Structure 1
Amino acid sequence: MKFAVFTDSTPEWTPEEAAKLLAGQGWQGIEWRITDQEASATPGFWAGNRATWPLTGLEDNLEAIRTVTRDAGLEFASLGGFVPPTQRDDVDRMLAATAALGAGQVRIMGLPVEKGQTYREAFAAYRGDWEWVAERARHHGVRALVELHFDSLTPSASAARRLLEGLDPQYVGVIHDIGNLVIEGWEAHSLDLLGEYLAHVHVKNCAFHLAGVESDGTLRWEPKWVPLREGRANLPELFRALAAVGYDGWVTVEDFSTAVSLPERTAANLEYLTGLAIAAGYDLG
């Protein structure tokens, strides 16, 4: 098992700073956020994130991405793409970039049910998109990943398994994300259900907080990202489950909590997850 950080959760650092600081803390890999984003005077997770490589002109930045990563002594855990499978030209560019960098795998962004669609109509079209993605991933010799994500067509392991069933797991796979699953899609045996399609693991945590009270007295609760130790997701249980199914790949952290500074957060997360892995029986030597 190896540990990495997704740079969607390190908005204050430039790519060079992120790579150098994470390597110095002992992280083994990095998952780069690649997307065109809105400008912001203040660095944020989703706008003005300084540790982001733009999709526009990506090909011109490949050597810089490779150099920043390798010079820090880090490996590519994956590429964190934000391109949905319907944008086929950009999907193919992401797959080609993954191959050129030797990153191995890349996230293809999930899709929701659009207004005017039924779930069955949307899912059938999504399956067709992923059949195409699988063939292009085979062409490039990389693996395309779909994430278990709330408000998408694949919020659960069973939905993702249904999406990919029959496609070659060498070229398509699933990102298991326990933080997303406690919002929508939790299944007790999700890792076993995914089987050969379990390709990657994201870790974050959330808790539900009282967001308001309706005029009739109904309480409205909403999820909020919190430190890894504090949320609804049982991370010690997750690591025991990962060990039970023989998972020995990357675990990438995307911690969107802000209770402590970014350097403190990343250092503490690595210490915590390393302890969980050892307690679950992993040999990290």
Structure 2
Amino acid sequence: MRFSVFTASTPEWTPAEAAHELAAQGWDGVEWRVTDQEDAARPGFWAGNRATWPLETLEESLPEIDRITRGAGLDYSGVGAYVPSADRDNVERVLAATATLGAGRVRITMPKLGSAPYPELFAKTRDDLAWAAERAATHGVTGLVELHHGTIAASASAALRLVDGLDPERVAVIHDVGNLVIEGHEDHTAAFELLGPYLAHVHVKNVAWRPVGTRPDGSTAWAADWAPLREGQADIGAYLTALRDVGYDGWVTVEDFSTALPLAERTRDNLAYLRSLAG
């Protein structure tokens, strides 16, 4: 396995700083966040993130992205874009950009639950992914569906329904152990076996459920909270073992949104922890 960091989780660093720090710590690669974001007084994961490349100017940024990445000695684990599957013009753009960078794969965002009846969302998204698979083939890259809570692809089973029958070299799945603590958990080995060739990429973070108050009926209210890799409810060691047991030897990309440790210490400790588990 090779280890990388998704820069949504490194908001305090500029791209050059992120590449330098991650390379110095011994990471194998980087997954750049690509989206148009809101400004913020202080850098945050979702707004004001300094390690984010704007979608609006993506094409003109490609030489600089590659110079920074390759110059630091890092590889691309992929591109972490936020383009909805229905936005075909921008899906085309990020597929083409991924090909230009030689990054191999790019995330395509699935629609959220509740934006339309599920059968309608499913049918439209399936059509969009079939189109994306054709375009990905033209560019020689892969579009990725991430298992993500609150979307129509929260579980491996749901994601497989969306991509089944499409070319797994062109449309595949990101398995995300942290998101599955919130919604969509299935036995990991069964999920990996179910996905088969569609298991193309892995994201790792951790989550803890914590009591946050009392509901009107007197029962305990709970909320999911980002946690350090070593402290959340997901057993990361067992997860990596299950990946190895099914023969997965690809990228494992960390997106740690906990803040208990300073950023540089957090990324350094995450790599040490993952390498200790990977053997």
Q: TM-score, normalised by structure 1?
A: 0.96
**C-alpha separation in 1, matches of 2:112 and 2:236:** 27
Q: What are the Cα deviations for residues 180-211 of structure 1, in whole angstroms up to 9, with x where unaligned?
A: 01111111021111100000000000000112
Alpha-carbon distance in 1 for matches of 2:250, 2:61: 27
The answer for the alignment partner of 2:71 in structure 1 is: 71
Correspondence list, 1:134-213, <5 A: 134-188=133-187, 189-213=190-214
Contact 2:173 2:200 in 1 (8 A): yes
* Percent pairwise identity: 59
Q: Distance in 2 between matches of 1:203 and 1:61?
A: 27
What are the equivalent positions in structure 2 for 1:45-56 lying under 5 Å apart?
A: 45-56=45-56
Secondary structure in structure 2 of the residue aligned to 1:212:
strand
Give the superposition deviation at 1:218.
2.0
Segments of structure 1 that go 5 or more residues without pairing to the other structure are 279-285
State the distance in 2 between where 1:36 and 1:125 align.
24
Alignment of structure 1 residues 8-47 onto 2, 5 Å: 8-47=8-47
Q: Deviations over 1:95-124 (max 9, x none)?
A: 000000000000011211334x32112111
Question: Is the 2:110–2:125 Cα contact (8 Å) retained in structure 1?
Answer: no
> Which residue identity is paired with 2:238?
E
The answer to whether 1:248 aligns with 2:255 is no
Structure 1 residue 20: Cα displacement: 0.1
The whole-number CA distance in structure 2 between the counterparts of 1:273 and 1:144 is 26
Cα RMSD, aligned residues only = 0.8
1:89-100 to 2 correspondence within 5 Å?
89-100=89-100
Q: Is the 8 A contact 1:83 1:108 kept in 2?
A: yes
d(CA) in 2 for partners of 1:52, 1:233: 27
Q: CA deviation at 1:74?
A: 0.2
Q: Could you say which residue in structure 2 is the equivalent of 1:86?
A: 86
Structure 1 counterpart of 2:270: 269
SS at match of 2:249: coil
Question: Cα offset for 1:79?
Answer: 0.2
Q: TM-score, normalised by structure 2?
A: 0.98
Mapped to 1, the partners of 2:77 and 2:42 lie a distance apart of: 27
Aligned equivalents of 1:167, 1:193: Cα separation in 2: 15
Post-superposition Cα deviations, 1:122-167, rounded to whole Å, max 9, x if no partner, equal 1111111111111110111100000000000000001111110100
Q: Does the CA-based 8 Å contact 1:114-1:122 persist in structure 2?
A: no
Gaps of 5+ in 2: none
Alpha-carbon distance in structure 1 between the residues aligned to 2:92 and 2:216: 50
Secondary structure of the 2:172 match is strand
How many pairs are equivalent?
277
| Distance in 2 of aligned mates of 1:123 and 1:229 | 36
Secondary structure of 1:182's match? helix
